Amino acid sequence: MPDPSSKNTNEELNTAKQVQLENVGALSRDQLTPAAATEPQGHDVSGHDHAPAAAPASAAHAGHTHAEGEDDDHDHGPAGATPYLWPGVSLALLLGGIALDYFDIAFFTGPVRLIWYGLAFLLVGWKVIRSAIQSIPSGNIFNEFLLMSIATLGAFAIGEYPEGVAVMLFYTVGELFQDAAVNRAKRSIRALLEIQATEVTVVRNGQSLVLDPKQVQLGDVMEVKPGEKVALDGTLQNAAASFNTAALTGESAPQTKQPGEAVLAGMINLETLARVTVTAAFADTKLSKILTMVQDAVGRKAKTQQFITRFAKIYTPIVVGLAVLLVLVPYFVVDDYVFRTWLYRALVFLVISCPCALVISIPLGYFGGIGAASKAGILFKGSNFLDVLREIDTVVMDKTGTLTQGVFAVQQVQPAPGTEPAQLLQLVGALETKSTHPIAKAVVTHVGAAVTDVLVEGVEEIAGHGLRGRVAGKDVLAGNTKLLTKFSVAYPAEVDQVVDSIVVAAVDGQYAGYLTVADAPKADAKQAVRELRADGITKLVMLSGDKDSITQRVAKELGIDEAHGGLLPEDKAHYVQQYLTQGRKLAFVGDGVNDAPVVALADVGIAMGGLGSDATIETADVVIQTDHPSKIATARRIARATHTVVWQNIWLAFGVKAVVLALGAGGVATMWEAVFADVGVALLAILNAVRIQRMKF
């Protein structure tokens, strides 16, 4: 809840409690460090702690800013108090006052009784009243502060002191429960942020220097001791080393990296001293990008959240107007009209009408879904994608690196007559060193040291075809048969009959031979197809740039409905657009650079985050960190569970409030029932929302 003393109160009040959950996603590392977490934090009436005054720019989307030098230590009462102390004192005074009333103690009358209950009220209510007053100049009059202030002060005005205190006290207690739920979400993100190393050992000019990761330069060599976190992305220099990758992928089994293989920030070195050459600046590491995704995720609202926010802005002034009418209209139609009676009913009506349960529990529900997905190694870039993923009926998937392992090995070398196998391998291998494609890597690995001193220049990557360049003074083409056709290079007809993935080569405009490579489906690929079909997906499609014969074979093996191979990026986009035109809700799953346009085109773009390219990961709406296609169905289950919980909260809040509103207007419900309808329902909704993070998916 915004601090009423802030210079930016107007902006803060515009989003009331909803901003709190959004700010969870906008907090910086410094704001979520263990030191900050253990530091005593005050709170305002809502029970929310705030970001420091120097709030990050990313918080701006929430509409929540602080004035320079603003003091963000808030509390529920006098300065220095813990959040629970003053509500506890207020509760003790309330219970004591009720006991004194019950036993009709002589001194507990008149001014003494008013002061007693007034003190109990001010301990928990003075900041709410101040917030209501300070929100008036901004035009944001109809908010929960005003509802609570009118209702409780009105109760005092007609002598219902205990009920006025009870409403404000239980409202505050409800905010404390809400605060606990939000802080739990913050702790989850804080744990994720702590994956990043805060210092790194770098070897420069033979000396070991301990630096901030942001000061390390590309090409520097890091030394990572056993038990230490890798601070930056790089490639392993020394002998094979084992790393714990659970922080990035959720997988408990360690990974053994060979010299030259990628080592990512956030991994933990397990055994021997590892030397890693830095290949990415701090802000460009995969881990930094993942954390940015998490921080930004909550700011993207689902349609349900947007609806409730708009609804609350219309709903609140309507109920205030109805409460006024509830006091005035009976004067003209009721014979025995008693102002105090109808004012009391209007106050009850106001307390019931407060939309707290909806405004906080719905975004908290979506945040719970995002948190549950993160634990499963799935990153949603916004709560809106939880809703869209639940609605899809078609899943279109890339083949290589998505459904298959993307780890190829050269199986056969078939040079053209007059070409030596070693020469073919050297020329193709040298050219393929300029590509990051899994097939290219397989060729380079197979060729080995033979390409070390070969001069390669003028390399051009032709999307969907392959590479062209000058190698050791010769013009070399390496790619699929479409590449040779494009450059009018004739090749034997039997080459088109090869089923396996193939790299065809031409040297100085003449066909030079081919290499075949093999790739296998991922261990859970069949499970992914089976679970998606059981989950209600009516159409499963595989689109691949690989040969159609291979694509069809893999599709048949996995049980996929429809498959198309030999596609360029624009061909994939054509198919996806065709399905969208048919009215299908579509998710596309891919990992390569050429998948990025199609990922952006789909209703939901899903990227494989382990082997996937940065472009695809940045374009995607959902990132699967573990590279397991079966996680697509897991993400769907999480999306459905989140939707169920959110709508349970909506119907619970509307149902209870409708009943108690009617009872309040009829004089049957008192302030005590009103407290349950407001605070009680809010508590139930919050507990229900938190339940998502405990579910097993």
Distance CA 626, CA 610 (A): 6
- Degrees, nearest 5: CA angle 625-630-631: 40
Q: Which residues are catalytic?
A: 398
Q: What are phi and psi of 420, to 5 degrees?
A: -80, 140
> Which stretches does DSSP call E strand in 217-308?
221-224, 234-236, 241-244, 255-257, 262-263, 268-269, 274-278
CB 239 within 8 A of CB 223: no
Of residues 394, 383, 369, 368, the one with CA closest to residue 603:
394
What distance in Å separates the CA atoms of residue 501 and residue 483, rounded to the nearest whole number?
A: 14
**Do 274 and 236 meet the contact criterion of CB atoms below 8 Å apart?**
yes
3-state secondary structure of 387: helix
Q: Where are the alpha helices (DSSP H) in 106-240?
A: 110-135, 144-157, 161-193
E strand residue ranges, 184-317: 200-204, 207-211, 221-224, 234-236, 241-244, 255-257, 262-263, 268-269, 274-278
What is the DSSP pairing of strand 409-415 with strand 456-462? unpaired
Which residue type, as a one-letter code, is found at position 1?
M
Q: At what angle do helices 286-297 and 356-375 cross, to 10 degrees?
A: 160
Q: Which residues pair with 379 in a beta bridge?
A: 623
Question: Tokens 């870039």 identify what position?
Answer: 381
Count CB atoms within 10 A of the CB of residue 180.
Answer: 13
What's at 582, amino acid-wise?
Answer: Q
Report residue 270 as tokens: 């397990």
CA dihedral of residues 303, 305, 309, 312 (deg, nearest 10): 110
Radius of gyration of the chain, Cα coordinates, nearest whole angstrom:
32
562-564 vs 539-543, strand pairing mode: parallel
Return d(Cα 10, Cα 63) in angstroms, integer: 10
Dig out the tokens for 420 from the structure.
Answer: 């030596």
Give the 3-state secondary structure of 492-529. CHHHHHCCCEEEEEEECCEEEEEEEEECCECCCHHHHH
Q: What type of residue sits at position 25?
A: G
